Structures are given as structure tokens and as C-alpha cells.
Amino acid sequence: MPAFIEKEAGVWKILSKLEEDFNIVVQVKAKQGHGSEGFISVSDLTRPPGISQLSKDFPRLGGTQLVSSTESRDGGKKATTLVLTNEYSVDSNDAFYRSKMTAEGWKLVRGDIRNGAATMLFNKQDQQCELAVSKGDRGDSVIFANIVEAP
């Protein structure tokens, strides 16, 4: 087994490592200007699996599969990170999420498609959703969604 698994999704670099009964995931991207920003999550693999309501209700195109759902708390804010895959193009996913999220009351703050990957940032009341869509190794699309709710 490798020391860690490394993937890229749009502007995000994702590192994952199994350490005893825990899965440690680091998501990082370059910060505008200088430096970097990101997320760290630690999942207890001995905890019984369960799928949150947000994971069930998060919008997705037909046939989209939920690969993982990670919940965390940081500074009183609850964050849910979803990884989804489907057979649609990056452009189709981008168009779907721009339309669907807006229809559900989210405001598109910024969105971009560059180098074959789409990134979007949405705000809704006290919530923020950051989406990244890119082509996976098998030709499918991989969708990373990070939803943060204020306390």
C-alpha cells in the first residue's frame, strides 16, 4: 500500500492516507497572491457508516454516484465534503450545478472553467458551497463539493 494517495481536481490537490483506523485527507490549493489554503479531515473508520441528509439531498445528475461523504466541525462551523462521480462531461456538470443551485436559492459568487476543470462558489444565507469538477482517471467526471454551514 502506498504511503498516501495523491489526486488533483481542478485547482485542488488531494492527499489521502490510511493511518491505523483513520483516513486522513488533506485538500489544498494555491491562495491568490501567495500561500495556500485548504481542509484537513480525519475519519474514524471504526465508526458505523451513515449517510447524512445533506449527502442524500445534494443535487446531482441522474446516475451520479456518491463516492464519499465526510463531515467535520471547525470553529463552530459544520462542513460536509462530498465526492461524486458520473459519466457526464465537465461542461454538462458545470451547466447543471449553475442552474440547479441557483434554482434552489444559491447565489453564484464566481465560476470558471480552465484546463478542462470547472470551479464554482455559491453562497446562500449562512452557507457556502464550493464545487470542483474535473475528469477522472477513467474518463468519468469527479465532483468535489464542500458545503460549510455557519453555527
Least Cα distance to 143 among 69, 77, 78 occurs for: 69
3-state secondary structure of 94: helix
Q: Is the distance from CB of 79 to CB of 71 less than 8 angstroms? A: yes
| Lookup: cell for 113 | 472553467
pLDDT recorded at residue 77:
86
Tell me the pLDDT tens digit for each residue of 92-112: 999 999 999 999 999 999 999
Tell me the pLDDT tens digit for each residue of 58-93: 999 999 998 888 887 777 888 889 999 999 999 999
Residue 1 has pLDDT above 60, yes or no: no
**Length, in residues, of the chain:** 151
Tell me the pLDDT tens digit for each residue of 105-149: 999 999 999 999 999 999 999 999 999 999 988 889 999 999 998
pLDDT recorded at residue 2:
59
Structural domain tally of the chain?
1
Bigger pLDDT: 33 or 25?
Answer: 25
pLDDT recorded at residue 59:
95
Full residue range of the structural domain in which residue 113 is found = 5-149
DSSP label of 47: S
3-state secondary structure of 96: helix
Tell me the pLDDT tens digit for each residue of 35-54: 998 888 887 777 666 667 77
Residue found under cell 478542462: 116
